[in-house]
Chain A
């Protein structure tokens, strides 16, 4: 993957995913390494995302690299009407790698075609966020000891949730069983179901969030947002149905871990936080190691 951009999780093969996961574990053991000494990484956030930006910048700093860039579009030349193409052409002459977050979908793919240096997509609108997926995969590997043959439950907004779609595509390499739990309005789109069918992967859809989770190895929670509903009454009906409470975890498997891309609103009650099966805060920390693994692989220093 040396010198290649990471725009979509599909840009990585199964072997490459496993290599990143393995490397992330090594960085977790020994996080301070000077592998990016004398490297400059441009961190271009055309829309603010403090959580993702700090994770990337921590990863770069731990690797001894230097960061240039901006934290939102108002402090960049885009407010003066500069095109994305021009911004990328200019910055790719300065930096060794570009980390980019942009509100428009497809912007990262386009930037990778214009840039002389690799692009790491830190989120392009509702499209892809592959480093989030890599940290999800690393979290699953770390807590389950494997990525193979797991029963993955995804809960909440399965229609618009990009983390759900990317994780589903990446996990498809590892013979999973999926269970999708969502309100009718936010069901997993048909295109993903056709795709799973074509891969021969088992999945089940449910509209009720009940004790079926007793079979889960991973419970991947997402936010159900009010603005996704055309009819506010529909939102009121479902908003409290897809909330995980500690009492629901009683009969679940010992190895079950609860993941959430964060930030959460109310979809996981705070009484779950103390349960050893809650993993979402550690999951966020894993993002730093996953990003260290991705950037050092692309820069060819490992």
Chain B
């Protein structure tokens, strides 16, 4: 009920709604998606109640439809994010995000002796097949797991 209300309050005619973003990462998501340099009408709400985990945030971007590749870049920090594609006030498609095979510039390598932590270098990781989130650094080849993951 409350969700429906939110949507109707800030309803957009055409565009994308990104829901279930952890509230603490709202501005990170905005920056990863380049929304801080976007001319479109954007509304967001944060510190909204969430029954999933902690407080959540929501972003609505009018007249913008993202490429999956761009949206998946937020999967590391907002793995539970839900995307609603809006056409003429109606949700026409729902999507989830998946962590991409190659992660460029979002995460920090946990290895203090890694060159990326000592010189100005864009980090680069490959997703490792395992039951926990594990990223293998393209440079030092060490694996950063979820518990050591720091977002840049």
Residues of A bordering B, CB below 8 Å = 8, 83-85, 102-107, 109-110, 124-128, 191, 194
Q: For the complex of A and B, list the 6 residue pairs with the smallest distance between their C-beta atoms, beginning with the closest.
A: A106-B139, A105-B140, A106-B140, A106-B115, A107-B115, A104-B115
Q: Identify which of B24-32, B77-85, B116-124 touches chain A.
A: B116-124
Compute how far the CA of A110 lies from the CA of B111 in the bound complex, rounded to whole angstroms: 15
Determine the chain A residues whose CB is within 8 A of the CB of B137 once the complex forms.
106
Determine the chain A residues whose CB is within 8 A of the CB of B141 once the complex forms.
8, 105-106, 127-128
Contact of A191 among B111, B140, B143 (CB under 8 A): B143
Inter-chain contact B143/A105, CB cutoff 8 Å? no
Residues of B in contact with A, size category: 10 to 19
Give residues 39-78 of B contacting A (CB, 8 Å): none
Contact of A84 among B114, B119, B140 (CB under 8 A): B119
Most A Cβ at <10 Å: residue of B116, B137, B140, B142: B140
Compute how far the CA of A105 lies from the CA of B142 in the bound complex, rounded to whole angstroms: 9
Inter-chain contact A109/B139, CB cutoff 8 Å? yes
Most B Cβ at <10 Å: residue of A84, A109, A194: A109
Inter-chain contact B114/A104, CB cutoff 8 Å? yes
Inter-chain contact A105/B111, CB cutoff 8 Å? yes
Inter-chain contact B113/A104, CB cutoff 8 Å? yes
Contacts A105-B139, A105-B140, A127-B141 given; does A110 touch B121 at CB 8 Å: yes
Contact of B118 among A104, A109, A128, A191 (CB under 8 A): A104
Inter-chain contact A85/B119, CB cutoff 8 Å? yes
Determine the chain A residues whose CB is within 8 A of the CB of B111 once the complex forms.
105
Compute how far the CA of A194 lies from the CA of B128 in the bound complex, rounded to whole angstroms: 12
Compute how far the CA of A37 lies from the CA of B137 in the bound complex, rounded to whole angstroms: 38
Inter-chain contact B143/A84, CB cutoff 8 Å? no
Contact of A105 among B115, B119, B120, B130 (CB under 8 A): B115
Determine the chain B residues whose CB is within 8 A of the CB of A194 once the complex forms.
130
Determine the chain A residues whose CB is within 8 A of the CB of B139 once the complex forms.
105-107, 109-110
Shortest C-beta distance, A79 to chain B (Å), equals 15
Inter-chain contact A109/B113, CB cutoff 8 Å? no
Compute how far the CA of A83 lies from the CA of B137 in the bound complex, rounded to whole angstroms: 20
Name 22 A/B residue pairs within 8 A (Cβ), A-sorted: A83-B119, A84-B115, A103-B113, A104-B115, A104-B118, A105-B111, A105-B114, A105-B115, A105-B141, A106-B109, A106-B114, A106-B116, A106-B137, A107-B115, A107-B139, A109-B115, A109-B139, A110-B116, A110-B139, A124-B140, A127-B141, A194-B130
Determine the chain A residues whose CB is within 8 A of the CB of B119 once the complex forms.
83-85, 110
Nearest chain B residue, comparing its CB with the CB of A106: B139
Contact of B138 among A83, A104, A109, A126 (CB under 8 A): A109
Compute how far the CA of A194 lies from the CA of B129 in the bound complex, rounded to whole angstroms: 11
Most A Cβ at <10 Å: residue of B115, B139, B142: B115
Determine the chain B residues whose CB is within 8 A of the CB of A110 once the complex forms.
115-116, 119, 121, 139
Compute how far the CA of A127 lies from the CA of B109 in the bound complex, rounded to whole angstroms: 14
Shortest C-beta distance, A190 to chain B (Å), equals 10
